[in-house]
Amino acid sequence: MELTLILIIAACVVLLVVFFYYCPFFLWISARVSGVRISLLQLVLMRIRQVPASVIVRALIEAHKAGLKDVTRDDLEAHYLAGGNVERVVHALVSASKANIDLGFKMATAIDLAGRDVFEAVQMSVNPKVIDTPPVTAVAKDGIQLIAKARVTVRANIRQLVGGAGEDTILARVGEGIVSSIGSSENHKSVLENPDSISKLVLRKGLDAGTAFEILSIDIADIDIGKNIGAYLLMDQAQADKNIAQAKAEERRAMAVALEQEMKAKAQEARAKVIEAEAEVPKAMAEAFRSGNLGVMDYYRMKNIEADTSMRDAIAKPASTSSSTKPLKE
């Protein structure tokens, strides 16, 4: 008997839990008290479609209290099922309504589904955002490098949030404009004297075209003097010219050395030919003896001439002969 009673109580508890899960009775009462017309059956169907009823009901209550008439339950459910953030969209619509910004439900959901924070965009439309650019390096015409930092004040353009470029594009365009403005200056002193000329020139270019922001102002926060790039370039050019001249001189020296070696080779070749010709002399003399063109007396007379020539050479060069003789050992 007691076991049956326990089973009945447990079954009742389970049924109550299941009932209140699929039938959010207290949530329905909260919606009715807040003035939102929604039936209990619709809440049950939300549970079956795996749509969080609490999120939809809270969004409807917030929209109803803010006086938004174009926000319906079906639209909120469709946006949630599409992967959007219902609470953020309703917050953005309420903020836009209070700030007199023309923002419809379809536009807000499109911005949210595009991956942008629509609530932050509405806040940025009311309170413009200041973006600090990274240091931008540019060189004036006189070769002096300048390093500029700027602050860009932007406001969100609700109409361009879908498909418009982001902050990175704004920073890139502003940096390009600063580089172009400094590069067109005759000297760096004019830029230091009138830094506002940079911001005026950049603003005239319409850098916010095609972006999700509207540029309100560009202020040059700081300008520092960097390196003398012109002097560095002249030094590099002089070093390059020096290297070219050294290379040409080395080339000429190498050609001279090669020519000298070639001349030495030709001299060795000529000397070899002389030695080869001298080697043919004994053969010619032997042939002359055999043929009878040269006699013994002619041979001795030739030898006497050679000896006389050698003696005269020895008398003419005594140093070489004395240096060649060594002293006798005792």
Instruction: Decide if 216 contacts 159 (C-beta within 8 A).
Output: no
Assigned token pair, 155:
């406001």
Instruction: Decide if 218 contacts 202 (C-beta within 8 A).
Output: yes
- Longest C-alpha distance within the chain, in Å? 168
Q: What residue ranges do the domains of the chain occupy?
A: 12-126, 129-231, 264-316
Alpha helices by DSSP H, the chain: 2-22, 25-34, 40-48, 53-66, 73-81, 86-98, 105-113, 118-126, 167-183, 188-193, 196-203, 229-291, 296-316, 318-324
Q: Which residue has the tokens 């050698």?
A: 310
The SS3 of residue 215 is strand
Assigned token pair, 211:
């972006």
**CA 183/CA 198 separation, integer angstroms:** 11
pLDDT of the chain along its 330 residues, tens only? 666 767 777 777 776 666 666 666 677 777 777 777 877 777 777 777 777 888 888 888 888 888 888 888 888 888 888 888 888 888 888 888 888 888 888 888 888 888 888 888 888 888 888 888 888 888 888 888 888 888 888 888 887 777 778 888 888 888 888 888 888 888 878 778 788 888 888 878 877 788 888 888 888 888 888 888 777 888 888 889 899 999 999 999 999 999 889 898 888 888 888 888 878 877 877 777 777 777 777 777 777 887 888 888 788 776 544 444 455 444
- Write the burial class of residue 144 (CB in 10 Å: 0-12 exposed, 13-18 middle, 19+ buried): buried
Instruction: Decide if 104 contacts 111 (C-beta within 8 A).
Output: no
Residues 6+ apart with CB under 8 A from 220: 148, 149, 150, 195, 196, 198, 199
pLDDT digit string, tens, across residues 219-257: 888 888 888 877 788 888 888 989 999 999 999 999 999
The pTM (predicted TM-score) of the whole model is: 0.57
For 129-231, CATH number? Answer: 3.30.479.30
pLDDT digit string, tens, across residues 14-48: 766 666 666 666 777 777 777 778 777 777 777 77
Assigned token pair, 221:
């926060």
**For helices 118-126 and 105-113, angle between their N-to-C axes, nearest 10 degrees:** 120
**CA 317/CA 321 separation, integer angstroms:** 7
Query: Measured between alpha carbons, how far is residue 100 from residues 19, 64, 77, 114 in Å?
Result: 44, 17, 26, 23
- Write the burial class of residue 37 (CB in 10 Å: 0-12 exposed, 13-18 middle, 19+ buried): exposed
The SS3 of residue 223 is strand
Nearest to 199 by CA among 180, 172, 212: 180
Query: Measured between alpha carbons, how far is residue 152 from residues 178, 196, 203 in Å?
Result: 12, 13, 10
